[in-house]
């Protein structure tokens, strides 16, 4: 594993690890990256699995995501977009 250059990279990697765990091997596409869609065309996570990812991320980072501002279709598009929302809350 390469060293992470920025704190945001570490957050992105941790979010991807959470997504991979929740998705499991049956729903994790080969070569998944932080840009892989969480829904169709990617991990194929349903609303229950997305909720599990969100709860796990909130717990892992000690934050509370805002349903109206963070948990939007854009915010839940990929591990990267979710990590960007988390980054806004970390260190507040």
Beta-bridge mates of residue 78: 37
Q: How far apart are CA 19 and CA 22, in angstroms?
A: 5
Q: Which residue has better confidence, 56 or 1?
A: 56
- Does the pTM surpass 0.75? The reply is yes
Domains annotated on the chain, with CATH = 7-89 (1.10.1200.10)
Segment 60-83, tens digit of pLDDT: 999 999 999 999 999 999 999 999
* Residue 92: per-residue pLDDT: 64
């Amino acid at each position: 594993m390469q060293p992470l250059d920025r704190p945001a990279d570490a957050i992105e990697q941790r979010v991807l690890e959470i997504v991979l765990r929740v998705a499991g091997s049956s729903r994790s596409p080969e070569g998944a990256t932080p840009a892989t869609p969480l829904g169709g065309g990617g991990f194929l996570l349903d609303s229950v699995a997305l909720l599990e990812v969100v709860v796990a991320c909130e717990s892992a980072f000690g934050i509370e995501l805002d349903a109206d501002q963070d948990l939007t279709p854009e915010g839940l598009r990929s591990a990267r977009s979710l990590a960007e929302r988390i980054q806004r809350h970390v260190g507040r």
